[in-house]
Amino acid sequence: MTRHQIFPANGRAKARRDDDAGAEHVAERMTGRMAEHVAGDKRRPTGARPRKRRRLGIWAGLALAFGAGLASYMFWWEPAMRLRVVRWRLQPKEWVGRAPCRIVILSDLQAGAPHVSARRLGRIIARANALRPDVAVVLGDLVASHPFTWGDTDRPQIIAQLASFRGRLGQVAVMGAGDTGAGDTGGRDRSESERGPHCIRLAAATRHLLEEAGITVLDDEAMRIGDDASGFWLAGLAPDAAAERNPAVLGGASDEEKAGFDQIMTQVSGPAPVVLLAHDPDVFLDLDGAEHPVPVQISGHTNGGQVWFFGAPSLMLASRDEPYLWGRYDEDGRTLIVSGGIGCAVVPMRLGWLPEITVVDLSEPEGW
C-alpha cells in the first residue's frame, strides 16, 4: 500500500499545513526564549556583579589591613620599640679656651607600662650611659600624664632606676609641670584651692626622691661644672605651674620664671658661661643674662610634636602653639636645643617622630 493510497491529496495538504504550523510554533518559542535571554543579558550582565563584589572585597581587605598595621605601628611599635640618638654639636664663642663637654639628656620620660616599662627604661638608661656623658641630665616629666598605663612604673620606681644614669661630672635634673602635679591628671582635677598645696607636696616629694638617688635638682639654682677657667655654670629653671595652665603666656617667660632666672643669676659669678636647663622652651625669648652670657638653653616638653601627618604635628596638644617645637634654634647669638623626648603625652602614640636620647657636645669654635 503506497503513501498516496493512505493519504489522499487533500490529506497531504492538511498534513503539510500541520507541519508548517508546528514548525512556526517551535520557532516562535525559540525566538521568545532567545529574546528573553538577550533582554536578561541587558538587564544583568553575566559575571559583572560578582567581579565588582570581589574587587570591593579586595579593596576593603587592603584598607582594613593598612588601618590595622598603621594602628599597631602608632600605638605600639614606634612609641614602645623604637629609639634613636640625636646629636648636636655646638661651638659658642663663649666656649673659647674651655674644655669640651658632652651633655646627654633624657627628656619627658612619661614612664608607664607598657610603652615605657621599668625594663625598657633600664635599656634606655644603659644606652644613654654607653654614650659616655660628662653630665647626665633628666629634663622633667618623669611619669606619664595620660591614664593608659599600668604596673611597675610609679614615681619612686622610676627615680630609683634613674640613679644608674651617671655622668663623669655629675647627674642633674630639672622638673616639669607633671613632676609638680600641675600637668598630671591629679593636679588638673583638683579645685584651685586644693591644687596649690598638692603641687607643693608633690614637687617636694619628687625632689626628695631624686636627691636620694644621687641626682642634683636645680630648681632656680646654678652649679659650677669644672673650674672658672675651663668650666661653665649649669643652671636649672623651675617650671611655672600657672604658666602651664594659662595659654596666654605661651611664647615667653612668665613673671615667676623671670624672677626665677634673676635668682639664678645672683648665684653665678666670674666669666664662665651659663648653660640653662628649662623644661619648657618658651622661655628662650625672654631669658638672657646681661652680665653673664647664656649661650645655650636645653629644653624638652613638646615631644617633638609626637604625631605627624603630612609633614605637620597634628595631635600633640603641648606643642600646638609652641614657637619652638624640636631641634636647634639660633637667635641673637644664643642657641636653643629642644629634645623630642622619650614618652608620650595626651595619648600613648607616636607617628613620624621617634623617641630620642639627645646629646649636646659643647666645644670651642674651630680656628680659635
CATH number, position 354 = 3.60.21
At 246 the pLDDT is 47
At 12 the pLDDT is 52
3-state secondary structure of 309: strand
Q: Does some domain include residue 220?
A: yes
Q: Within this chain, do residues 102 and 32 fall inside the same structural domain, yes or no? A: no
Q: Within this chain, do residues 122 and 215 fall inside the same structural domain, yes or no? A: yes
3-state secondary structure of 86: strand
Q: Within this chain, do residues 238 and 315 fall inside the same structural domain, yes or no? A: yes
- Residue 3: pLDDT band (50, 70, 90) is very low
Q: How far apart are CA 138 and CA 162, in angstroms?
A: 8
- Residue 5: pLDDT band (50, 70, 90) is very low
Q: Does some domain include residue 152?
A: yes
pLDDT by residue (tens digit) across 144-179? 888 888 876 789 999 999 999 999 999 999 999 888
Q: Within this chain, do residues 10 and 114 fall inside the same structural domain, yes or no? A: no
pLDDT by residue (tens digit) across 295-311? 999 999 989 888 887 66
Q: Within this chain, do residues 341 and 286 fall inside the same structural domain, yes or no? A: yes
At 226 the pLDDT is 87
Q: Within this chain, do residues 92 and 35 fall inside the same structural domain, yes or no? A: no
Number of folded domains that form the chain: 2
At 134 the pLDDT is 97
- Residue 358: give the domain boundaries: 83-362
Q: Within this chain, do residues 229 and 342 fall inside the same structural domain, yes or no? A: yes
Q: Does some domain include residue 62?
A: no
pLDDT higher than threshold 80 for residue 20 = no
At 47 the pLDDT is 60
- Residue 52: pLDDT band (50, 70, 90) is confident
Alpha-carbon torsion (204, 206, 209, 210), positive or negative: negative
| Helix segments in 147-284, DSSP class H | 155-162, 177-180, 185-188, 192-212, 241-245, 255-267
Q: Within this chain, do residues 27 and 126 fall inside the same structural domain, yes or no? A: no
- Residue 286: pLDDT band (50, 70, 90) is confident
Q: Within this chain, do residues 134 and 209 fall inside the same structural domain, yes or no? A: yes
Q: Which of 23-27, 255-259, 336-340 has the lowest mean pLDDT?
A: 23-27
pTM to 2 decimals?
0.80
pLDDT higher than threshold 80 for residue 196 = no
